[in-house]
Amino acid sequence: MTLQEKEQEIIDEFAIYDDWMDKYEYIIELGKELPLIDEGLKTDNRLIEGCQSRVWLHTDFDGENMQFSADSDAIITKGIIALLIRVFNNESPKNIASSSLRFIDEIGLHEHLSPTRSNGLASMIRTMKMEALKKV
């Protein structure tokens, strides 16, 4: 499945929700389900400090594709991270660096990526792309 196909899959999953609270119920479930990061990796050098919530991000590269694991102290932030990781994991640095992440807009979560939202997500995506760019 290509990165774009994974994005489309998420867009289709969210299409069934026409109520905001149902949408967030699903995001919260995603946040609760995923053990995203090894506790030992939640160190200060992996911490992205947001004004509202905090995000820890760990990056791996096997020479071909990238792997991310991450966590947040806020469950909604964590749910959105789960979606980002689903899209970015096992993708080449080139694909990640050039991705527009249109699914975020399509499912109505763009507000979470605004720098003023200060939940660490905007900085996290920036860091993910920077890490990818280093490997291109």
Partner 1 sequence: MNETIVKLDVEKIRSQFPILHQEVYGKPLIYFDNGATAQKPKSVIDAISKYYTKDNANIHRGVHHLSQIATEQYEDARKIIQKAINAPTSEQVLFTKGTTDGINLVAFSFGQMLKAGDEIIISEMEHHSNIVPWQMLCERQGCILKVIPINEKGELKMDVFESYLSDKTKLVAVTHISNTLGTINPVQEIIEKAHALGAKVLIDGAQSIQHTKVDVQELDCDFFAFSGHKVFGPTGVGILYGKKDILDAMPPYQGGGDMIAKVTFAKTTYNELPYKFEAGTPNIAGGICLGTAFEYLNGLDMDAIHDHEQELLAYAESELKKIDGVRLIGTAENKTSVVSFVVEGTHPFDVGTLLDKQGIAVRTGHHCTQPLMDIFKIPGTIRASFAFYNSKEEIDVFIKALQRSVNMLL
Q: Which is closer to partner 1, CB of 25 or CB of 60?
A: 25
- Does position 123 bind partner 1 by CB under 8 A? no
* Phi, psi dihedrals of residue 68, rounded to the nearest 5°: -120, 145
Q: How many residues appear in the chain? A: 136
Among 21, 35, 43, 116, binds partner 1 (CB under 8 A): 21
Among 1, 2, 16, 20, binds partner 1 (CB under 8 A): 20
Of 48-77, binders to partner 1 (CB under 8 A) are 51-54, 73-77
Tokens of 114: 């605004």
Q: Which candidate in 15, 51, 130, 133 is catalytic?
A: 51
Exposed/middle/buried for residue 91 (C-beta within 10 Å: 0-12, 13-18, 19+)? buried
Give catalytic status of residue 29 as yes or no: no
Q: Please, what's the b/e burial string for 67-86 (b: 16 or more CB within 10 A of its CB; e: otherwise)?
A: ebbbbbebbbbbbbbbbbbb
Q: Which is closer to partner 1, CB of 75 or CB of 122?
A: 75
Q: Name the site residues for partner 1 (rule: CB under 8 A).
A: 20-21, 24-25, 28, 51-54, 73-77, 118-119
Q: Any idea which residues carry the catalytic annotation?
A: 51
